[in-house]
Amino acid sequence: MHFLSLNHTPSSHVKDASSHICSDISLSLPLSQLPSTSHSIDLLSSQYNISTQLVNLTITFCVIFQAISSAFWAPLSDSLGRRPVFLMSFSIYVYASFGLALYKSSYSALILLRALEDQPSCLAYAVVVDISPHSERGKILGLMLTSTNLGPCIGPVIGGGAILASGNVMWCFWALVIFGIISLLFIGWTLPETARTVVGNGAVYPQGIWRTWWTILSGKVAKSNNNRTTNNACIVPEEALADVNAGKPGKGKWIIPNPFISLNIILYWDTILILWMAASPYTVWYCIQTSLPLIFGDTFGYNDLFVGLCFLPGGLGVILGGLIAGRLMDLNYKYTSRAIGFEVDNHVVDRNQFPFEEARSRGTYTILSVSIPLLVGYGWAVHFHIHPSILLVLQAIIGAKCTVVLQSFSALLVDIFPKRPGAAAAANNITRCALSAAAVAALQPLSNAIGRSWLFTLIALVDGGAGLLAVWALRRWGSAWRRKRDSGSRD
């Protein structure tokens, strides 16, 4: 039997520190989209003596590389620990940004280094699962995912301002260097190790590099596990009846990552539907963000700074959507628990009997039904050159919708794979990146063939129609599929 344990939640200090650090990490990763306005694309084209199509191709390579790298980083973090992997990946991020700022003529270097900048955000998901029980996961994921989606919104503003001030697109990359160094130092000084394989439920004291630089330099020594109380720790799901700290050395184990661990997760019926529900809104939002420079730059004639400012309403929608979704997820969880007679307290309940699929998808029918006319209206508003304010308002609402759906089903995915949160989040990242890369590659040819009006109509029908069918199937058969899988595995 598989159990949930809600007793012994983490201390508020640990949870607040970890969740805020995850937000900083999640914000920094998408900021590699700083050079994404239409004029910066032209400047990159001139700088590297290539066509704008080849510049746009770097975006597709970045997304593909992020998907591939997730399959390696995630299993490594489950074994070695979150903290060392964060430090390694952010060091690569900083060095790649340095390279982009210095190498000004090599297109191959541009592709490779921009790809290396796009480090996976799946590790932040894993930290959230480490520090929070199911009933409190929504608000922490809300903060983290809001930051993830905020990066692409404020990045073009910073990038557009840097280009207008300097006339040199390379200053975008120097801005990334500065932000990357600040983030790396922040992680090194303050991010605690949270991986269950390393510190158990938090009562095992980390050793060596698994300690923060602050604890090392302040001279704090490892405490005996017997002197540490589990009141400030969080019992990992499914291990409530066992000693979760047994055999946990406070140090991780280096392994050769197996990328197929994440790919295996994709092959189950319920996870296929969940991954679609997480990837589809992400792809919709990616398409809107990618098309903004062309819509507001070419159609309305805005300069780079104003094009960058046009990303802000969507960012506001993403922020509000993330905050609303976080609270909504926790309320839905509590509502579902009461409806089936489960108390959300410190009692242990059978995980196989809890309908995670119903709890996380509650209200999705309404959201998807509303989103279809919103996307259709957005496309036709662009077609008829409606006042830009209408487009910006629709963009904000669509951003909020995409965030709510993405967040809910991303939480569901790690709910049903509690022992492999990193691998589950990596599977999510792989699917999102693959779908968005395909969509971005097809975006301009489809727009040229059928126009932006019918393009967004098609996107609305695929996202909303397929989403409604996926939610229906998941609510009807998802729990049974999960129980069947769990009966033959340890997940």
Distance between CA atoms of residues 172 and 417, nearest Å: 39
Distance between CA atoms of residues 413 and 405, nearest Å: 12
Distance between CA atoms of residues 426 and 316, nearest Å: 27
29, 148 Cβ separation under 8 angstroms? yes
Residue 226 lies in a domain: no
Grouping H, G, I as helix, E, B as strand and the rest as coil, residue 276 is helix
Residue 300 lies in a domain: yes
Residue 459 lies in a domain: yes
273, 482 Cβ separation under 8 angstroms? no
Grouping H, G, I as helix, E, B as strand and the rest as coil, residue 151 is helix
Residue 141 lies in a domain: yes
CATH of the domain at 371: 1.20.1250.20
270, 416 Cβ separation under 8 angstroms? yes
pTM of the model: 0.78
Strand pairing category for 3-5 and 348-350: antiparallel
Alpha carbon distances (Å) from 217 to 167, 169, 198, 381, 452 = 43, 39, 21, 58, 57
Distance between CA atoms of residues 42 and 45, nearest Å: 5
Structure tokens at 9: 């939640």
Residue 252 lies in a domain: no
179 Cα distance to chain centroid: 19
Question: 350 phi and psi, to 5 degrees?
Answer: -75, 120
| Number of structural domains in the chain | 1
Distance between CA atoms of residues 399 and 449, nearest Å: 26
Q: Is 49 exposed, middle or buried (0-12, 13-18, 19+ CB in 10 A)?
A: exposed
Residue 84 lies in a domain: yes
Distance between CA atoms of residues 145 and 133, nearest Å: 17
Grouping H, G, I as helix, E, B as strand and the rest as coil, residue 406 is helix
SS3 content of the chain, % helix, strand, coil (to 5): 75, 0, 25
Token pair 């909303």 is found at: 464
Residue 249 lies in a domain: no
200 Cα distance to chain centroid: 25
Go through 300-337 and write b for each residue having 16 or more CB atoms within 10 A of its CB, e for each that does not.
eebbbbbbbbbbbbbbbbbbbbbbebbebbbebbeebb
Q: Which domain holds residue 290?
A: 11-220+260-487
Residue 125 lies in a domain: yes
Per-residue pLDDT in tens (0 to 9) along the chain, 491 residues = 444 443 344 444 445 444 445 545 554 554 455 444 444 666 677 777 777 667 777 777 877 787 788 888 888 888 888 899 989 988 998 898 899 888 877 888 888 888 887 766 677 778 888 887 777 777 777 777 666 666 666 666 666 666 666 666 677 788 888 888 988 888 888 888 888 888 877 778 888 888 888 888 886 554 444 444 443 444 444 444 446 666 677 788 888 888 787 888 888 999 999 999 999 999 999 899 888 888 887 778 787 778 878 888 888 898 889 888 888 998 998 888 888 877 665 444 556 778 899 999 999 999 999 999 999 999 999 999 889 999 999 999 999 999 999 989 988 998 888 777 778 888 888 898 889 888 888 888 898 899 999 999 999 999 999 999 999 999 999 999 998 887 765 44
364, 472 Cβ separation under 8 angstroms? no
Task: Give me the sign of the Cα torsion angle 141, 143, 148, 149.
Answer: positive
Token pair 């090392």 is found at: 216
Q: Which amino acid is at 169?
A: V
